[in-house]
Chain A
Amino acid sequence: MEKPLTKNFKTDGSVCSLSEYEKRGGFQALRKALKMPPGEIQQMVTESNLLGRGGAGFPTGKKWGFVPMGKDAPRPKYFAVNADEMEPGSFKDRVLMEGDPNLIVEGTIISSYATEAQAAYIFIRWGYKLSTERMNKAIAEAYEKNYLGRNIMGSSYSLDMYIHTSAGRYMCGEESSLINALGGKRGIPRTKPPYVVTCGLWGKPSVVDNVETIANVPHIVSNGAKWFKGLSLTEEGGTKIYGVSGKVKKPGWWELPMGTAIGEVIQEYAGGMNDGLQLRGLLPGGASTSFLTEEHLDTKMDFASMAKTGSGLGTGTITVLDDENCPVGMVNNLESFFARSSCGWCTPCREGLPWVSRILNSMEAGKGEISDLEILREHTVFLDTGHTFCALAPCAMNPLRSAMQYFGDDFKRHVTEHRCPWRD
């Protein structure tokens, strides 16, 4: 099967230099793109049905279509690549940046050209040191070869690209918080409308796209929308990097056709559960997705199919819960992460998530009370979209709500037995 995203990865973990990348066909897509009007590139991306790989699955071409274009558009315009990957359980963007930074650079240049951006920022998570190092080198080499800077490849298009290291907050992975942080403000989200595509960085039109999304763009330009759709098993175009972590035989990542079933990823590629363990549940795409169980293993891992289960594709990196692990403990771990991550702007998230986290801690310590369960349940109802300022708290409630649905007895036992039953 074709693996456009990872075909340049080296097995020894080292990375291609820019000239090696060129020899393997790199920057041909850019050459081709610069001869097309930006609108045509947008058209191609729309037809390819590339959905945003950050977790929300918004059609990329459609997002670009909202950017005001032409000589009367407000300027300067900006492009930001969301490399702030902090969704617990996700590591696909790191894999891409460490494995083929040149692809990300080329994809960003083409995408910036398609939206008439003058500057592109790679907003990269502080902890991703190796990625930062490799991306820096790729950018420097691109400048040398005039793939960046003034009049790229002799065209009239100029672009500057910068690495911006995030100060390290999960909230900055959200597009409007990212724009705020990039602009030197507190990394809190913005109210929408207006969306960042019209009023973004410093009030100017800005596009924010995920690393994996961008990685697909050069291939779409080179090979066309039809080819891209052909890679997938469903309507949603392209390949996807899926991952599995947890007590499976071969935890890791694999580039597979979009729409590969959950069970196939876990059994075929991750080798199934470790000996002696059973699958209890799984988070399909990061801590913000709801638990699924073995009844969902046939579900195709694309955005639409996953949404039908009540959970979501998210980042497509699966975390597996085995039957010897305490679900309450797992949820406690996740909720303490979310509580720590709250930006503190809106009341329900700022006060509610720490409360939830303290209750779960207390349950794990054997000090839970029956009324706690009602309080937890209420939070899963009240921390809903529109009730909070952004999606962080509603997403934080996904694992809790689904865990109480599927593993409700475990929660009750913690309270009635005054201990965690999984610990002796």
Chain B
Amino acid sequence: MPTIFVDNKPYMVSPGQNMLQACLSLGFDIPYYCWHPALNSVGACRMCAVKQFKDANDTKGKIVMSCMTPANDGTRISIDDQDAVKFRKRISEWLMINHPHDCPVCDEGGECHLQDMTLLTGHVYRRYRFDKRTHTNQNLGPFITHEMNRCIQCYRCVRYYNDYAGGRDLGVFCWHDHVYFGRSKDGVLKSQFAGNLVEICPTGVFTDKTLARHYTRKWDLQNAPSICPHCSLGCNTIPGERYGTLRRIRNRYNSHVNGYFLCDRGRFGYEFVNSGRRIKRPFYRQAKKFELMAKDIIVEKISEIIKASRNVIGIGSPRASLESNYSLRTLVGPHRFYNGLSETQTQVLSTITEILKNSPLQSASLSQIGMADAVFILGEDVSNSAPMIELALRQAALTKPSVIPEKMHIEKWNDYPFREAIGQEKSPIYIATCNTTVIDEIAKGTYRASPDDIARLGFAVAHEIDAQAPAIGDISKEMKAIAKMIAEDLKAAQRPLVISGTMLKSRSLIQAAANVAYALEKTGKKPLICFAPESSNSIGMGLLEHKSINSAVKAAERGPVDAVIILENDIYNHVDSDTAEQIFKAVKNIIVIDSMRNQTTLRANFVLPAAAYAESDGTFVNNEARAQRFFKVFVPAGDIKESWQWFRDIMLGAGISEADKWKNFDGIVNDIASKLPVFKDINKITPRADFRIAGQKIPRQPHRYSGRTAMYANIDVREHKTIEDNNSPLSFSMEGFDGRPPSSLITHFWAPSWNSVQSVNKFQDEIAGPLRGGDPGIKLIEPQQQAAGEYFKEIPNGFKINDDELLILPAAHVFGSEEQSAISPSIAELAPKPYITVNPADAERLVINNECEIEITLSGVTHLLGLESSTAIPNGIAIVPAGLKDLQWDGLPVRVKLKRR
């Protein structure tokens, strides 16, 4: 461990750092702009200047940039040296020359790194007396506002966008003090990770456009630690609310999961919470009769139905919290509880959970994905179904070739030489999908085929790695050659990774992926496996229940079923309408709890308004079986309640005694932990509701939160009692513990002098490492070292094309396929129009090549789709966008005859 000297005091630091990182980790306040913990050092801004001395006798020293100085043993610097202080002040003066006096009207104000650093250096008075340079701004799409006058040319935006995130359409233009960052012409930024620019940019050049529409200062927001509900990865977020509406999503650092970044769906998909489609009040509907009901009345009515019923079934949801699902399960009884998925989806999901529970395979976190040095993706277009995997894969591409700069003694933190030495070299990444993907450009090989053929390739790769793995009898020469190539690269890797998912609803793909991983395990490698199911709590549901909606239909047909309770699930998204209708026809009382009006709520008799995720406390289990806690950011308005509380109240009314234990959130969490072994640790994710620090709760509001009484002064001037939170150690106020709470309870990142997102530094022991005390979240499943993964033997047949049919496959779209975010207006703006893409050869074969629109009938519904063609689509296959309005979900994959219009 090297020892460095800062202002003549010795400190031990971890090896391999630069002085800026090392000093920030030690708690020193060295100002900086262009360095970033995920982007490393380039030495452009000159803000982190310190004085370096050759040895203890050197009194003169010279100014160096701490971000570019290796923290080797004996390195000696002074931060407080007067020359360094003056120089840093001068840098602030130079940056202020052209900076507009925007603070009062700039969105960034209050969480602006430029504000913080300018204050830190002590620069105050303006000596420059000439004009400022100005720029014109561009329209970059619905997510990000562009205000170039504020730019301090730290170059972080283009380095993040191009180097880190692989984007191409954001660049640097012009020279000297006219440097401009933008696109070659106005247009939506193409990368779906562009939203991170709003946190990367240290000033207000790139700001959250969705926030701007309902703007609030950072210090006026009420926040809580939350989990993104828009895919299965479980990125940690901090949503902010004011006056009862959700204003914005901010990244919540977690070194294992999302790190410093989010995808745009997660960052901008929140506006559904404020949507006009929200169900706000309970109501009862019977034939033409519609009646709003007070909440205690409707609870009473439903309790009565429950008391009088002998057979009530419950359909849960993979996007609802563990607690909400469990409470429904308890209400109806485990044998009457269904998982809210179709039979096909259930088979795929249970295959995944069985593999995770009973095998020696390590499930990869996003940060582990970023360190893989060979990757094989089977079938899943991760860029659209679980987008942050793409961002991690772009970092994984650098893992294998990092030996090149290592040999040249170039440190990883020295960003430009590190990347220059690597050049175009990449870790081998193989992508086997049904269509082109955004990350084809970083792939060593791509394989386009039907899901079954991709699975066969997977089985073949496993066999090439381990001859004990089942072989494909009728393998083609072409597939064998490709399988060999992939196997070679996986075998040669230190950290091989296999990825698959549930978009194509193919169990074979999951099994093939597992076989590849087992084969690597058996040959002594330490492979990682990553399964990406659809929803925020898919794995949680997979560990809870395996009975599908189709089973519920059978139960309803066997009958009689007195009531069905559907929890936060538009079942038309999972099963076709005929199947859904069967339930509604067979059951007398249809009780639905959801936050949004949808097709299922339209069929309900009783509708109870559910709290959205930002209005709830709960647990989601992510794709790697990491159980993570989210707390309510704000109390929902009026009659909206968390689903588990609705169920509790119904159970109490119906005399079901288990609900007595659920007096507060801890009650139900403890109940689950004590009753279900796989969830035994979920009561350890966060401290209990009675946790205090020095007798204080943790405030949801920053200490500068304002307007508490002014807000209502037009109505009355009393000091209203703060809403009490008996469910968590957080308070709905700014009063409380002012320091850094345990990492699972962080409601906002702030430290004295550090108002911006850079304050995350102060919550880590080491920069870019875990949060102090460990990142929140607990993995529920660890690899079973004793178990030897048993090879799956059911190899699917090769894909056969029928004369006048096409196999219709769903394609995920980051914007539009996920149910809740698709309602947010900015996301909806970017969702694709319905289309069907076929191979031109098929278009000719089916004589549709001159059409521009095609009619197809799925699940009894006829759709008109714009016809597109692409040679990348394998023969016999057509792609349609998944999850778009009216495109039935479980209809796909299905073989369909196409009709000309």
Question: Is A56 interfacial (CB 8 A cutoff)?
Answer: no
- Smallest CB separation, B418 vs chain A (Å): 10
Contact present for B177 and A347 (CB under 8 Å): no
Q: Chain B residues with Cβ under 8 A from A387's Cβ?
A: 46, 49, 63, 87
How long is the Cα–Cα vector from A378 to B89 in the complex, in angstroms? 13
Question: Is A223 interfacial (CB 8 A cutoff)?
Answer: no
Contact present for B90 and A382 (CB under 8 Å): yes
- Smallest CB separation, A76 vs chain B (Å): 12
Contact present for A346 and B408 (CB under 8 Å): no
Question: Is A340 interfacial (CB 8 A cutoff)?
Answer: yes
* A371 CB contact (under 8 Å) in B64, B127, B152, B422: B127
Contact present for A191 and B46 (CB under 8 Å): no
Interface-central residue, B87, B129, B153, B175, by most chain A CB under 10 Å: B175
Question: Is B830 interfacial (CB 8 A cutoff)?
Answer: no
Mask: chain B, 124-146; 1 = CB below 8 Å from A; 0 = not: 00011110000000000000000
- Smallest CB separation, B95 vs chain A (Å): 6
How long is the Cα–Cα vector from A346 to B62 in the complex, in angstroms? 18
Count of A interface residues, CB-CB < 8 Å: 38
Q: With A199-B417, A387-B63 in contact, is A346–B46 under 8 Å at CB?
A: yes
Question: Is B38 interfacial (CB 8 A cutoff)?
Answer: no
Q: Chain A residues with Cβ under 8 A from B97's Cβ?
A: 351, 355
Q: Chain B residues with Cβ under 8 A from A382's Cβ?
A: 87, 90
* A386 CB contact (under 8 Å) in B45, B63, B155: B63
Contact present for A342 and B176 (CB under 8 Å): yes
* A186 CB contact (under 8 Å) in B43, B130, B153, B172: B172
Question: Is B404 interfacial (CB 8 A cutoff)?
Answer: yes
Contact present for B42 and A191 (CB under 8 Å): yes
Contact present for B45 and A347 (CB under 8 Å): yes
Mask: chain A, 355-378; 1 = CB below 8 Å from B; 0 = not: 100100010000001010001001
Contact present for B46 and A202 (CB under 8 Å): no
* B94 CB contact (under 8 Å) in A199, A203, A343, A348: A348
Question: Is B410 interfacial (CB 8 A cutoff)?
Answer: yes
Contact present for B176 and A340 (CB under 8 Å): yes
CB-nearest residue of chain B to A170: B175
How long is the Cα–Cα vector from A191 to B418 in the complex, in angstroms? 11
Contact present for B179 and A350 (CB under 8 Å): yes
Contact present for A348 and B46 (CB under 8 Å): yes
Mask: chain A, 163-202; 1 = CB below 8 Å from B; 0 = not: 0000001000000000000000010001101100011001
Q: Chain B residues with Cβ under 8 A from A199's Cβ?
A: 408, 410, 417, 420-421
Contact present for B128 and A194 (CB under 8 Å): no
* A344 CB contact (under 8 Å) in B46, B178, B404: B178
Question: Is A331 interfacial (CB 8 A cutoff)?
Answer: no
Question: Is B643 interfacial (CB 8 A cutoff)?
Answer: no
From 26 to 43 in chain B, residues with beta carbon under 8 angstroms from any chain A beta carbon are 42-43
Question: Is B16 interfacial (CB 8 A cutoff)?
Answer: no
Q: Chain A residues with Cβ under 8 A from B63's Cβ?
A: 384, 386-387
Question: Is A352 interfacial (CB 8 A cutoff)?
Answer: yes
From 194 to 227 in chain B, residues with beta carbon under 8 angstroms from any chain A beta carbon are none
Question: Is B757 interfacial (CB 8 A cutoff)?
Answer: no
Contact present for A203 and B175 (CB under 8 Å): no
Question: Is A339 interfacial (CB 8 A cutoff)?
Answer: yes
Interface-central residue, B68, B98, B153, B174, by most chain A CB under 10 Å: B153
Question: Is B47 interfacial (CB 8 A cutoff)?
Answer: yes
Question: Is A353 interfacial (CB 8 A cutoff)?
Answer: yes
Contact present for B423 and A358 (CB under 8 Å): no
How long is the Cα–Cα vector from A279 to B682 in the complex, in angstroms? 86
Q: Chain A residues with Cβ under 8 A from B43's Cβ?
A: 191, 346, 389
Contact present for A358 and B417 (CB under 8 Å): no
Mask: chain B, 147-167; 1 = CB below 8 Å from A; 0 = not: 000001101000000000000
Question: Is A227 interfacial (CB 8 A cutoff)?
Answer: no
CB-nearest residue of chain A to B172: A186
* B175 CB contact (under 8 Å) in A194, A344, A375: A344
- Smallest CB separation, B54 vs chain A (Å): 14
Mask: chain B, 410-434; 1 = CB below 8 Å from A; 0 = not: 1000101100111100000000000
Q: Chain B residues with Cβ under 8 A from A344's Cβ?
A: 153, 172, 174-179
Count of B interface residues, CB-CB < 8 Å: 42
Contact present for B64 and A386 (CB under 8 Å): yes
Q: Chain A residues with Cβ under 8 A from B130's Cβ?
A: 355, 358, 362
Contact present for A350 and B177 (CB under 8 Å): yes
CB-nearest residue of chain A to B177: A354
Q: With A344-B179, A347-B94 in contact, is A203–B422 under 8 Å at CB?
A: yes
Contact present for B408 and A347 (CB under 8 Å): no
- Smallest CB separation, A148 vs chain B (Å): 26
Question: Is A345 interfacial (CB 8 A cutoff)?
Answer: yes
Contact present for A389 and B404 (CB under 8 Å): no
CB-nearest residue of chain A to B92: A347
From 188 to 229 in chain A, residues with beta carbon under 8 angstroms from any chain B beta carbon are 190-191, 193-194, 198-199, 202-203
Contact present for A348 and B90 (CB under 8 Å): yes
CB-nearest residue of chain B to A202: B423
Q: Chain B residues with Cβ under 8 A from A346's Cβ?
A: 43-46
Contact present for B410 and A342 (CB under 8 Å): no
How long is the Cα–Cα vector from A371 to B417 in the complex, in angstroms? 41
Question: Is B91 interfacial (CB 8 A cutoff)?
Answer: yes
Contact present for B176 and A341 (CB under 8 Å): yes
How long is the Cα–Cα vector from A350 to B46 in the complex, in angstroms? 11
Q: Chain B residues with Cβ under 8 A from A169's Cβ?
A: 175
* B155 CB contact (under 8 Å) in A202, A203, A345: A345
Q: Chain A residues with Cβ under 8 A from B414's Cβ?
A: 191
How long is the Cα–Cα vector from A345 to B159 in the complex, in angstroms? 13
Contact present for B46 and A388 (CB under 8 Å): yes
CB-nearest residue of chain B to A345: B44
- Smallest CB separation, A384 vs chain B (Å): 8
* A190 CB contact (under 8 Å) in B152, B172, B417: B417
Interface-central residue, A340, A347, A348, A351, by most chain B CB under 10 Å: A347
Mask: chain B, 55-81; 1 = CB below 8 Å from A; 0 = not: 000000011100010000000000000
Contact present for A190 and B416 (CB under 8 Å): yes
Q: Chain B residues with Cβ under 8 A from A345's Cβ?
A: 44, 155
Q: With A203-B423, A389-B46 in contact, is A351–B155 under 8 Å at CB?
A: no
How long is the Cα–Cα vector from A91 to B700 in the complex, in angstroms? 68
CB-nearest residue of chain B to A385: B62
**Interface positions of A (Cβ within 8 A of B):** 169, 186, 190-191, 193-194, 198-199, 202-203, 339-348, 350-355, 358, 362, 369, 371, 375, 378, 382, 384, 386-389
Show 21 residue pairs from A and B whose CB-CB distance is below 8 angstroms, ordered by the A residue.
Answer: A186-B172, A191-B42, A191-B416, A194-B408, A199-B421, A203-B420, A203-B423, A341-B176, A343-B175, A345-B155, A348-B94, A350-B177, A350-B179, A351-B94, A351-B97, A351-B177, A386-B62, A386-B64, A387-B49, A388-B46, A389-B46
- What 10 pairs between A and B have smallest CB-CB spacing? A351-B94, A344-B179, A342-B176, A203-B423, A203-B421, A358-B130, A203-B420, A354-B177, A344-B175, A347-B46
If A341-B176, A352-B94 are given as contacts, then 4 extra A-B residue pairs at C-beta distance below 8 Å, sorted by A number, are A343-B176, A347-B95, A386-B62, A387-B46
**Interface positions of B (Cβ within 8 A of A):** 42-47, 49, 62-64, 68, 87, 90-91, 94-95, 97-98, 127-130, 152-153, 155, 172, 174-179, 404, 408, 410, 414, 416-417, 420-423
